[in-house]
A = this chain, B = another copy of it.
Amino acid sequence: MSKPLNIGLIGYGFMGRAHSNAYRQVAQFFPELQHRPVLKAVCARNADKVRAFAAQWGYESTETDWRRLVERKDIDLIDICTPNNVHAEIALAAAAAGKMILCEKPLAMNGAEGQRMVEAVERAGVPNMVWYNYRRVPAVTLAQHLIAQGKLGRIFHYRAKFLQDWTINPELPQGGAGLWRLDVAAAGSGVSGDLLAHCIDTALWLNGPLVSINALTETFVKQRKHTLTGQVEPVGIDDACLFIGRFANGSLANFESTRYARGHKALYTFEINGEHASIAWDLHDLHRLQYFDHRDEGIVRGWRSIHVTDGDHPYMGKWWVPGLQIGYEHSFIHQVADFIAGVESGQPAMPTFRDALRTQMVLDAILQSAKTHAWAEVPMVEG
């Protein structure tokens, strides 16, 4: 018999949709789970819009004040899909109320805030996770498995980029619905927290801690009209962020993110070069993993384009048949499945708030380095 897992979602933007879809899909494809998400309530400030969203997605009820949602007894899990500047406050309240918490990335506005959130959920003893969804793209998970098996040997290089081009137009305003990511007050940072955060989360998972970095940020469009004030105001976010650095395992880091790379919509790529083998991946063709193994016979050695759709590839046994690809949204479904499995097994699924705090610490170091024009050490997070 399946048990309900009552979801209370806060925020109905792009992420609200992606998470709602995941909750609706997980039981059909992961029938071994005992808990089945129930779309109990969705919360947002605009009553009309939140009702429409609830109707479309099948939420049983709506709220317009997140504090009320957090207090509801019929909610097991609070899912935070708000702009970054509200994550902490909600998470602290939800932890105090004993709710499980899923939080959109980046965890917090900065490391100090993230630290308080970690302490809150750990003190409360509630299951918690951050939506760094790309870990659950099957090709990325496969990369992790290959590394864990030692296939790559000693790692020399880790390279990641997240390139977009949607803010090149200087007429695009900052702030408001859909554009809060351009408003430093709501987002905390620009591409570093939005895009590079994904790259860092994956990197820490695949390659271990980053120890020191040197970063460079740039704001190409210095002022934009603010949607909320109607005034042209200085832009406070970073439009582009690059850093070089060192991992604890001795490998070198090269990271870059921007929203000014014409021709790239969401090109998150990474490549890892090891002593024996290398791996590369690309979000624009997310169902493929590139793999080179130096131990292959010399004359037929080459980069292999692995179409990660076989039944023995991570998660893929749950879906269709070999050759038929899945897409972006599935990474969220996998993450919900892993979260529930973690709750059921007692082995919490990663990345927990504590795991995500490590990424936050790197983000802090990035902004500090960019500001001081000097190398920055990344503070260690225990545990």
Contacts and interface: CB of A to CB of B under 8 A. Distances in A.
Contacts of A274: 262
B304 A302 contact: yes
A190 interface: no
Contacts of A56: 27-28, 31
Given A261-B278, A327-B330, A300 B304 contact: yes
Contact of A164 (B24, B323, B375): B323
A202 interface: no
A240 B252 contact: yes
Copies of this chain, tallied across the complex: 4
Contacts of A287: 327
Contact of A156 (B57, B260, B320, B373): B260
Query: From DSSP, what is the main secondary structure of chain A's interface residues?
Result: mixed
Contacts of A116: none
Given A56-B31, A310-B299, A375 B373 contact: yes
Contacts of A326: 327-329
A242 interface: yes
Contacts of A330: 327
A321 interface: yes
B307 A304 contact: no
Contacts of A256: 159, 254
A305 B256 CA distance: 23
B242 A244 contact: yes
Nearest to A52: B31
A218 B252 contact: yes
Interface residues of A, number: 96
A252 B238 CA distance: 13
Contacts of A288: 285
A214 interface: yes
A258 B157 contact: yes
Interface stretch (A3-11, A90-98, A118-126, A265-273): A265-273
A166 B330 CA distance: 25
A146 B298 CA distance: 12
Interface in A338-361: none
Contacts of A267: 323
Interface in A42-96: 56-58
B240 A216 contact: no
Given A56-B28, A216-B252, A307-B284, A328 B320 contact: yes
A194 interface: no
Interface stretch (A106-114, A203-211, A223-231, A289-297): A289-297
| 5 nearest A-B residue pairs (beta carbon) | A266-B323, A265-B323, A263-B292, A302-B304, A302-B306
